[in-house]
Amino acid sequence: MIDLEKATLAFRTLLSEQLQRVADIDTTKTDFSKKEKITVGLIDGDGIGPIIMKQAERVLNKLLSNEIAEGKIVLKRIEGLTLENRLQTKKAVPDDVLSEIKKCDVILKGPTSTPMGGNLESANVALRRELDLYANVRPISIPKENIDWVFFRENTEGEYVLGSRGIDIEGLSVDFKVTTDVGTERIARAAFDYAKNNGKKYVSVVTKANIMKKTDGRFTRICHEVAKDYPDISVDDWYIDIMTANLVNPEIRSKFQVFLLPNLYGDIITDEAAQLQGGVGTAGSANLGDRYAMFEAIHGSAPRMIEEGLGEYANPESILRATVMLLRHICLFDKANALENALDSCHIKVTGTKDGAKCQAYGDIITESL
Ligand code: IPM
Ligand code: MG
């Protein structure tokens, strides 16, 4: 607990740190099509993380056996990103783990646990910040309804960047939300470039700019400025509340194509979208920066499943969908397509309960079909 004077000073520090963060952004892009050796870091995570990652590792070893043998791809296990270790070191990502991660080009990561409240920052949030992974890309597809959505969630700003740096004074707590021109412009370009390169004609900007006037107001304004460079793509604005309703409205939902939105709204609505697709266990997520990228399941570590003894019923589809995105990101398009086809044609159901198939059984079918 601090007093008003200290709180004001703390706010000043936060503002100058944020200005510095933006000034330090490095936009040099990695070109994976030209890289001779690509190191893929594998991180198990907590809860169901190690269980689903085991299947992803199996799949990667089979799919990339030649590339691994030739030394073009290195699979590097990274240990120590466990809740236990993070609590002990009081670091969202312990220093030695972070430096191992930074030796990789891309990361495939199982979900990590974050205690509610307290001061320990989420490992995800810390990694997104440390590796500057500004675009959280989450595709959702429901072919029988002609739904093909891709969410572009801003991943390094918004409500998250200072989420563990809020201020408590007697009887009052304040958290901060940050939106910058540079941060918004780069996620907007990622969304519009995706639309342009993938034959999409329509981008929906989703905010709550009627209420969060400064931050979401800026977000919307910058998105529309970027949109001017993409005259063939139409763009419109929606508020997050009605957009959550639209996603469950079968009359209109298939018209949406690309969503562009700030961090927290993107977090929430992508779980809803994943549920419509068949559950959060079916959805993968890419965290893309200019230098690094990290791929993961859309969901958390599911501690409840572990407590209830249901870990082995966890669905590995989410992490395998993330693996497809990873393969595409490093320009192994044929491998990505092969895995995607295997996933699309796998009809056993993993439900996360004893009524469904086991994680291992799903992995068996996918590995055999490759
Ligand atoms: C996600 C998760 C994370 C988030 C958690 C684990 C910090 O929910 O990737 O959507 O809130 O971003
Ligand atoms: Mg989430």
This prediction's pTM = 0.96
Q: Assign residue 309 a region: left if phi > 0, alpha if psi is -120 to 50, beta otherwise?
A: left
Res. 2: pLDDT tops 80: no
Q: Ligand 1 pocket: which of 120, 122, 294 to mutate (most atoms <8 Å of CB)?
A: 122
> Do 351 and 337 share a domain, yes or no?
yes
Cα 99 to Cα 86: distance, rounded to the nearest angstrom: 15
Which H or E element spans position 144? Answer: none
CA of 284 to the centre of ligand 1 (A): 12
> Do 81 and 207 share a domain, yes or no?
no
* CA-proximal residue: ligand 1, atom 12 (nearest): 267
> Do 179 and 88 share a domain, yes or no?
no
Asked which of 244, 270, 288 is the last residue of a domain, the reply is: 288
Report the CATH number at residue 207: 3.40.718.10
Structural Rg of the chain based on CA atoms: 20
> Do 147 and 193 share a domain, yes or no?
yes
Averaged pLDDT for residues 119-131: 93
Domains held by the chain: number: 2
Give me the percent of the chain exceeding a pLDDT of 90: 96
Averaged pLDDT for residues 272-280: 96
Asked which of 241, 257, 288 is the last residue of a domain, the reply is: 288
CA of 329 to the centre of ligand 2 (A): 22
Q: Domain limits at 89?
A: 31-127+291-370
Asked which of 267, 288, 309 is the last residue of a domain, the reply is: 288
- For the CA of 136, the nearest atom of ligand 1: 9
User: Which two tokens mark 363?
Assistant: 């992995």
> Do 343 and 267 share a domain, yes or no?
no
> Do 149 and 213 share a domain, yes or no?
yes
* Structure confidence at residue 1 (pLDDT): 63
Amino acid (1-letter code) at residue 174: V
Averaged pLDDT for residues 183-207: 98
Cα 17 to Cα 3: distance, rounded to the nearest angstrom: 21
User: Which ligand lies nearest the alpha carbon of 128?
Assistant: 1
> Do 177 and 48 share a domain, yes or no?
no
pLDDT digits (tens, 9 = 90+) for 234-266: 999 999 999 999 999 999 999 999 999 999 999
Which residues line the pocket of ligand 1, CB cutoff 6 A? 114, 122, 124-125, 267, 298, 300
* Structure confidence at residue 119 (pLDDT): 80
CA of 124 to the centre of ligand 1 (A): 7
Look at the alpha carbons of 160, 284, 333, 231 in this order and tell me if their dihedral is positive or negative: negative
Q: Does residue 289 contact residue 98 with C-beta atoms inside 8 Å?
A: no
> Do 14 and 122 share a domain, yes or no?
no
- For the CA of 267, the nearest atom of ligand 1: 10
> Do 265 and 340 share a domain, yes or no?
no
> Do 166 and 308 share a domain, yes or no?
no
Where does residue 252 rank: exposed (0-12), middle (13-18), buried (19+ CB within 10 A)? exposed
Averaged pLDDT for residues 27-43: 96
* Structure confidence at residue 109 (pLDDT): 98
> Do 7 and 141 share a domain, yes or no?
yes
CA of 269 to the centre of ligand 1 (A): 12
Give me the percent of the chain exceeding a pLDDT of 70: 100
Secondary structure percentages of the chain, helix, strand, coil, to 5: 45, 20, 35
pLDDT digits (tens, 9 = 90+) for 63-110: 999 999 999 999 999 999 999 999 999 999 999 999 999 999 999 999
Residue 137's pLDDT band (boundaries 50, 70, 90)? very high
> Do 145 and 277 share a domain, yes or no?
yes
Tell me which of 368 and 116 has the higher pLDDT: 368
